[in-house]
Amino acid sequence: MLRAVFTPNKVVSKKVMAMIAITQIFAFFVIWIVMAPKIIPRPMEVLQAFGPLWKQGIAGHLWVSLTTNLIALFFTMVISLFISYSTAISFMRPPAAAISKMRFLGLTGLTLIFTLLIGGGLGLKVAIIVFGMTVFTVTNLVAMIRMIPRERYDHARTLRYSEVRIVWEVVVRGKLDEVFEIMRQNAAIGWMMLAMVEGIVRSEGGIGSVLLTQNKYFNLSAVFAIQIMIFFAGIGTDWVLGTLKGVACPWASLKLERR
């Protein structure tokens, strides 16, 4: 069995995979407790930090962050899908390419413009996150569409589909599973941006603002505890999106080797 675990492309059972994961988690904690620098709080300290955080209303802050991220993800996907699907029309390709290139812009300079345009509060937070995620999502979606081979389009043409219907059948429906994957990747970007954005707009709270406060007072146990909460919130979002993908696109995983 040990050999199989280290052999490339060897498919192992779920039981073996669970054992590998448990062993690695155990090793992680051993390294954390025994070998981590002294400045890093130990697991028990982090665990104890949850109590004061709970009393300070961290659950409410987490809810604010979660809803902000989901709203931002929703708008990001609507905007990105519209831009990407519309690249079927030549007229829309330059704008899509320009939006994709905006991923090289720094957000710091743009936040002022967003503040002047939108004001503050939830709208500003969502707008900044949507901008940050959209430029990457459009890049991924446009690349996905570009990778569709010509024979897929030809196949639909031979079945007498109109060009609009081809976009629906080949691009929209045919690639729905990949859209879910891109959505999962970009939801993670949202969580990464959240701390920064909630640091800028603190009026509504949110887990990012609490994180920055704890950072300011060098309360590392609480910082770690908050990071763990963000970690699990992110994993939860990813699980929900993965489950939705499984329901909406049951064909997608049928031929994968490592399911």
Interface residues with other proteins (CB under 8 A) are 151-152, 154-155, 157-161, 169, 173-174, 176-177, 249-251, 254-255
Nearest approach in angstroms of CB 147 to other proteins is 15
Four-residue CA torsion sign, 224, 227, 229, 232: negative
Q: Yes or no: say if 140 and 186 are a contact pair by the CB < 8 Å rule.
A: yes
- Name the residue nearer to other proteins (CB basis): 12 or 176: 176
- Name the residue nearer to other proteins (CB basis): 30 or 159: 159
Q: CA–CA separation, 213 vs 223, rounded Å?
A: 9
Nearest approach in angstroms of CB 209 to other proteins is 43
- Name the residue nearer to other proteins (CB basis): 145 or 207: 145
Nearest approach in angstroms of CB 78 to other proteins is 21
Report residue 37 as tokens: 């620098």
Angle, CA of 108, 100 and 136, to the nearest 5°:
70
Nearest approach in angstroms of CB 177 to other proteins is 8
Q: Yes or no: say if 214 and 226 are a contact pair by the CB < 8 Å rule.
A: yes
- Name the residue nearer to other proteins (CB basis): 75 or 161: 161
Nearest approach in angstroms of CB 257 to other proteins is 13
Q: Yes or no: say if 134 and 99 are a contact pair by the CB < 8 Å rule.
A: yes
Q: Is 55 exposed, middle or buried (0-12, 13-18, 19+ CB in 10 A)?
A: exposed
Q: Kindly state the helix (H) or strand (E) to which residue 57 belongs, with its residue range.
A: none
From residue 198, how far is each of 33, 55, 229, 233, 258 by CA, in Å?
31, 20, 16, 16, 38
Nearest approach in angstroms of CB 96 to other proteins is 24
- Name the residue nearer to other proteins (CB basis): 93 or 157: 157
Instruction: Kindly give, in sequence order, each residue whose CB lies less than 8 Å from that of residue 218, ignoring residues fewer than 6 positions away.
Output: none
- Name the residue nearer to other proteins (CB basis): 155 or 184: 155
